[in-house]
Amino acid sequence: MSAVRSEIAPRGGVPAIRVMTVGALDAVLAIEVQAYPFPWTRGNFIDSLAAGYLARVLVADDGELVGYFVAMPGFEEMHLLNVTVASRHEGQGHARRLLAELYALSASFAATAVWLEVRESNARARALYLREGFTEAGRRRDYYPAPAGQREDAILMTRSLVRKQGRA
């Protein structure tokens, strides 16, 4: 895999979180199309940025894009729309770091919870969300496109951001 470089490289060897810009979309899309059979389009990302959604990228010190997220603020909640880590960087804690950034940013919107949908078949992501303190709150029937014109259910999950015993 040839890595697509982001326009902003941090210093110091630790991947840095930056605001997602239109200039980062080539690198974002390179990860997106490899990660999903039904990826977001450039237009989906541009619309999200234009709408003012929270969008962040995680950039390695060599400029390689490691991962990203997009989230939509709502009344007292944050809706995580997309969080993705490049396949070669999976299993290194980057998704948890991106989620921690989302939780911190959510405070500025007075959000008390984060909500998300995840494919029923995505056991790895569901396990991550459970470890992160999310709970299953419901099911959205036929939410996602699936191969051969079929549809797949989404599991609706939520995580409280209200502090309990000193932890958010």
* Span 34-84, pLDDT tens digits: 999 999 999 999 999 999 999 999 999 999 999 999 999 999 999 999 999
Q: What are the DSSP E strand ranges found in 24-131?
A: 54-59, 65-74, 77-85, 113-119
Tokens standing for residue 157: 């999950």
In a domain, 6, yes or no: no
Q: CA–CA separation, 164 vs 53, rounded Å?
A: 27
CATH for 118: 3.40.630.30
Tokens (6 digits) for 159: 């995580």
69 lies in some domain:
yes
Q: Is 48 part of a structural domain of the chain?
A: yes
Place of tokens 């980057």: 94
Annotated catalytic residues are 117, 129
Amino acid letter, 47: D
Given a contact cutoff of 8 angstroms between Cβ atoms, the answer to whether 26 and 4 are in contact is yes
Indicate whether 155 belongs to any domain.
yes
Query: Do 149 and 143 meet the contact criterion of CB atoms below 8 Å apart?
Result: no
Residue 100 identity = A
Residue 7 within a domain: no
Tens of pLDDT along 115-133?
Answer: 999 999 999 999 999 999 9
The structure tokens 């409280």 sit at 160
- For residue 2, being part of any structural domain is answered with no
Residue 130 placed within a domain:
yes
Q: How confident is the model at residue 14 (pLDDT cuts 50, 70, 90)?
A: confident
Whole-angstrom Cα distance, residue 45 to residue 82?
10
Residue 165 counted as domain residue: no
Structural domain that includes position 23: 16-160
- The domain total for the chain is 1
**110: CB partners within 8 A, 6+ apart:** 76
Do the beta carbons of residue 61 and residue 18 sit within 8 Å?
no
